[in-house]
Structure 1
Amino acid sequence: MHKPKILLIYTGGTIGMVKNPENGALTPFDFDTILERIPELKLLDCEIKTFSFDHPIDSSNMEPKYWVEIAEIIQFNYEETDGFVVLHGSDTMSYSASAMSFIFKNLCKPVIFTGSQLPIGDLRTDAKENLITSIHLASLQANGVSVIQEVGLYFEYKLYRGNRTTKINAEHFEAFDSPNYPYLAESGVRLRVDEKMLLEHSNEGPLQIHRNLVTDIGVLKLFPGISKSILQGVLSSKLFKGLIIETYGAGNATSSDWFIRSLARAIKNGLKVINVTQCIGGSVRMGEYETSSKLKEIGVISGGDMTTEAAVTKLMIMLGMDLSDSEFKKVFESPIRGEITEN
């Protein structure tokens, strides 16, 4: 019988560190010896290979060029590999998992991001469980076909769709949540996969990578008393090609004339303005309240129930495409990787 082949990609982060028991110093883990250091992995019915970045990256230093590098590693090994597990620092993991979902086209194999809150060599570490279960999930097959065929994020007993996640806690083991979409799998006494929640794929050709990410964007969180002069300065800047506005509640913002006029002028000059809610859960519903009707009228694009992380990375990808204004709005407001709930 075919044994699934899994590639473990270490980019950096807490999960790849071990603590020296004598002086407490953290040093990088040698993933080439992973089967010797974590013998439980031998119980998994799969073959594991490893790849480590030459210089591990703290997740705070993660950049789009590294997303492309991860994607290229996966593409290079795609044909002979059945699943991929990406070890990553937790702080920006939701951005990376979201970005990877949009970078790939025709992905039909699992790419599971995971990490940990404590180093792999720590006595109370969460790293081993996250690592072992992520590899198990990446190796799941039915009739020779991967059960999971999308980018996921596994942390503390739950597998989430990567582009639906956000980091919610810096101290608890339950560091992530998917506020607007159910988890895909749960690890307990049994590993349960909710197959009806998984992304469905039709095999449309070989795996492709979108390499052109435009980073000339900004994120603006609204608050009562936001400065007129500062906002107008941001909107008039020719450096921005896209701007994500985190609005109140269901996509509401001040209806002051200066605010609406400034936004309308910027949109007319070509700025793509995206509306996402600053609430943890819920969706933008422009036009439901008077305070969002004018945003809809002037051409602000709805982010629906997308996370800010998904909106940021989708915007970077789409700005690198040659789309008309109407096409851009239509595609952004539609689910292309399960990142948004259709109305």
Structure 2
Amino acid sequence: MSPNNTSVLLIYTGGTIGMIENAETGALESFNFEHLQKHVPELQNFTFRIDTYQFDPPMDSSDMDPDAWRKLVRIISDNYNQYTGFVILHGTDTMAYTASALSFMLEGLNKPVILTGSQLPIGVLRTDGKENLLTSIEIATARHPNGRPIVPEVCIFFENHLTRGNRTTKINAENFNAFRSYNYPVLASAGIHIKYNNVQIHTENVQRELQPHYLLDTNIAILKLFPGIQENVVDAILAIKGLKAVVLETYGSGNAPLKEWFLHHLHNACEQGIIIVNVTQCSAGTVEMERYETGYRLMQAGVVCGYDSTTESAVTKLMFLLGHNYPPAKVRDLMSRPLAGEITI
């Protein structure tokens, strides 16, 4: 790999990784690149160009929203031909939502977009940020001997594992291994060497132009079932003004109560054009609506199978499809097909 034509754009949105402790006040302050170079001198060992773009002001990831996703897509799209790959520094809380959204919004992507962050600020002695950042940069520039990128998709790198962005969920607020991809194998493991799981990595046989998308519709709700859920709760959610889609978090392999009022409300909502997607509350596994009668009755009511989708992926995929103003029938159809490797059928 020739360093001369290798370069990375490092995009800092905010989050713990970019916080530096002010020695005088003890307060955590947001990053600038000079700070980063001071705390991660190893960056100088890369023989290629690393440019930076900073959100100003930085965003706490709890504030991340579709406008921020559009901004990221625009930055990547505007700079797409100038860089080998992109690394996005992001807070961990909503990283899986951002990674899922970008996987749909960056259609035809054939370069690495790696999201990473940390549980401890980069200036802290025991930080996980340094390792996450350096390895993400390495992955973003990794290429096959023929020059093609090894990982041309939106991924999350955290604590030695590279996972597909729209398959990943935050599972831990305390430990360094904050993310997990339960239903899809890791794309790479970083030990002494970075071992790539080439069979699982998505590659386009045909080189496509990047087609950025900016249209998102957020008229979506999540309805999580629990024993004893009241009819007025279900009714209130399904009657939200302007509601276009619901992610229904069911039990096990896609099961729900067989109460007639419940099925009646779902059926009515589906008849009105509201798209209801069935995903499981379980961390791992898939929705199989034909397996038990409860799931089958949901299917009869018009509920769409979400297969092994994460909630984050189902929500952002619905925003993406609804943003394109597709009719409900087309959205239902596309929710049942993988657009960016987000579900296994």
Same fold (TM over 0.5): yes
Q: Does 1:161 align with 2:198?
A: no
- The match for 1:8 is 10
- The match for 1:80 is 82
Q: How many angstroms does 1:31 deviate by?
A: 1.3
Tell me how far apart the structure 2 counterparts of residues 168 and 127 of structure 1 sit (CA, whole Å). 18
- The match for 1:215 is 218
Q: How many angstroms does 1:283 deviate by?
A: 0.5
Question: What is the letter of the counterpart of residue 327 of structure 1?
Answer: K
Which of structure 1's runs of 4+ aligned residues deviate more than 3 A?
A: 32-37, 202-205
- The match for 2:68 is 66
Question: What is the letter of the counterpart of residue 248 of structure 2?
Answer: I
Tell me how far apart the structure 1 counterparts of residues 78 and 140 of structure 2 sit (CA, whole Å). 18
- The match for 1:46 is 48
Q: How many angstroms does 1:226 deviate by?
A: 0.3
Say whether the 8 Å CA contact 1:150–1:199 is kept in structure 2.
Answer: yes
Q: Does 1:170 align with 2:178?
A: no
SS at match of 1:71: helix
- The match for 1:148 is 151
Q: Unaligned 5+ residue runs, structure 1?
A: none
User: TM-score scaled by structure 1?
Assistant: 0.97
Q: Does 1:247 align with 2:216?
A: no
**Cα deviation 1:76-124 (Å, max 9, x = unaligned):** 1001111000000000000000000011111000000000000010111
Tell me how far apart the structure 2 counterparts of residues 65 and 162 of structure 1 sit (CA, whole Å). 19
SS at match of 2:123: coil
Say whether the 8 Å CA contact 2:169–2:181 is kept in structure 1.
Answer: yes
- For residues 285 and 332 of structure 1, do their structure 2 counterparts lie closer, same or farther at Cα, with a shift above 3 Å needed? same
SS at match of 1:287: coil
- The match for 2:333 is 330
Question: What is the letter of the counterpart of residue 113 of structure 2?
Answer: V
User: Quick one: which of 262, 265, 288 aligns to 2:265?
Assistant: 262
Alpha-carbon RMSD: 1.3
Report the more deviating stretch, 239-248 or 40-49: 40-49
Report the more deviating stretch, 248-257 or 229-238: 229-238
Tell me how far apart the structure 2 counterparts of residues 303 and 204 of structure 1 sit (CA, whole Å). 29
User: TM-score scaled by structure 2?
Assistant: 0.96
Q: Does 1:272 align with 2:292?
A: no
**Cα deviation 1:182-231 (Å, max 9, x = unaligned):** 11001101111111110121445421111110001100110000011121
Tell me how far apart the structure 1 counterparts of residues 174 and 37 of structure 2 sit (CA, whole Å). 29
Say whether the 8 Å CA contact 2:122–2:129 is kept in structure 1.
Answer: yes
- The match for 1:286 is 289
Say whether the 8 Å CA contact 2:274–2:328 is kept in structure 1.
Answer: no
Tell me how far apart the structure 2 counterparts of residues 189 and 236 of structure 1 sit (CA, whole Å). 54
Q: Unaligned 5+ residue runs, structure 2?
A: none
Tell me how far apart the structure 1 counterparts of residues 184 and 47 of structure 2 sit (CA, whole Å). 30
Say whether the 8 Å CA contact 1:3–1:45 is kept in structure 2.
Answer: no
SS at match of 1:73: helix
Say whether the 8 Å CA contact 1:115–1:155 is kept in structure 2.
Answer: yes
- For residues 114 and 161 of structure 1, do their structure 2 counterparts lie closer, same or farther at Cα, with a shift above 3 Å needed? same
Tell me how far apart the structure 1 counterparts of residues 332 and 211 of structure 2 sit (CA, whole Å). 23
